[in-house]
């Protein structure tokens, strides 16, 4: 498992500030799945009982129904676990030096991207739509220097607060980075070359 205290490629003085995930409301499909999981076998039971009166009185009929319900429940459970996995393994890790984005797409595709905070120039938050306004979640876009690509936090809770925090940390890291550059002597640069 991923230990947040031992992040990969830990930088000097790097501390975890916050871990962002998509808002729990975005798991609405999963909640619906849980409801349907209970409704379908019960509906099937009453439907068969209504249509074929003595189906459950035979041992073979009852066994067939038990096997069907068992399989249905197992695959519904698996589907819900995979939905949760897809939600839970997408994370945006904000430290005082960088942003790390890990995204899980399907079972075997995993994309990891990171950006140093001193490169962040512009941060925008966006809350679009009824559900996002109701539950206060949305997007945060970070624009980095020298690149057209934007780094996006998708459907995270409290996007305004998150964008403010990222901007504050970026400004602080820019100052730290400038100090690091100015403290390096030109002779160090030539001595360090192979």
- Site residues (vs another protein, CB under 8 A): 1-4, 19, 51-53, 55, 58-61, 63-64, 66-67, 70-71, 73-75, 77-78, 81-82, 84-85, 88-89, 91, 102, 104, 107, 110
| CA 64, 65, 71, 72 torsion-angle sign | positive
Nearest distance from C-beta of residue 59 to another protein, angstroms = 5
Contact 155/91 with Cβ under 8 angstroms? no
Which is nearer to another protein, 32 or 52 (by Cβ)? 52
Which is nearer to another protein, 112 or 128 (by Cβ)? 112
Nearest distance from C-beta of residue 41 to another protein, angstroms = 11
Which is nearer to another protein, 95 or 125 (by Cβ)? 95
Which is nearer to another protein, 91 or 167 (by Cβ)? 91
d(CA 130, CA 25): 12
| CA 87, 93, 94, 100 torsion-angle sign | negative
Find, among 147, 148, 142, the residue nearest to 94 by Cα. 142
In which residue are the tokens 């996002």 written?
Answer: 132
Contact 20/94 with Cβ under 8 angstroms? yes
Nearest distance from C-beta of residue 93 to another protein, angstroms = 9
Nearest distance from C-beta of residue 178 to another protein, angstroms = 33
Nearest distance from C-beta of residue 139 to another protein, angstroms = 22
Contact 92/153 with Cβ under 8 angstroms? yes
d(CA 137, CA 131): 8
Count the neighbouring beta carbons within 10 Å of the beta carbon of residue 109. Answer: 8
Question: DSSP character for 54?
Answer: T
Which is nearer to another protein, 109 or 192 (by Cβ)? 109
Nearest distance from C-beta of residue 67 to another protein, angstroms = 4
Which is nearer to another protein, 2 or 134 (by Cβ)? 2
């Amino acid at each position: 498992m991923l230990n947040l205290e031992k992040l990969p490629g830990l930088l000097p003085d790097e501390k975890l500030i916050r871990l962002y995930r998509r808002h729990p409301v975005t798991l609405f499909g999963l909640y619906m799945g849980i409801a349907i999981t209970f409704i379908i076998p019960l509906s099937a039971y009453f439907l068969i009982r209504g249509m074929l009166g003595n189906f459950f009185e035979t041992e073979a009929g009852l066994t067939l129904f038990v096997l069907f319900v068992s399989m249905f429940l197992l695959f519904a459970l698996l589907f819900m676990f995979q939905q949760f996995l897809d939600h839970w393994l997408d994370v945006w890790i904000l430290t005082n030096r960088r942003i790390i984005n890990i995204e899980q797409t399907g079972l075997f595709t995993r994309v990891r991207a990171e950006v140093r905070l001193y490169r962040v120039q512009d941060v925008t938050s966006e809350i679009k739509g009824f559900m996002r306004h109701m539950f206060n979640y949305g997007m945060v876009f970070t624009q980095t220097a020298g690149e057209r690509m934007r780094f996006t936090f998708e459907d995270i809770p409290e996007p305004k607060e998150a964008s403010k925090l990222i901007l504050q940390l970026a400004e602080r890291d820019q100052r730290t980075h400038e100090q690091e550059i100015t403290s390096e002597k030109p002779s160090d640069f030539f001595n360090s070359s192979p």
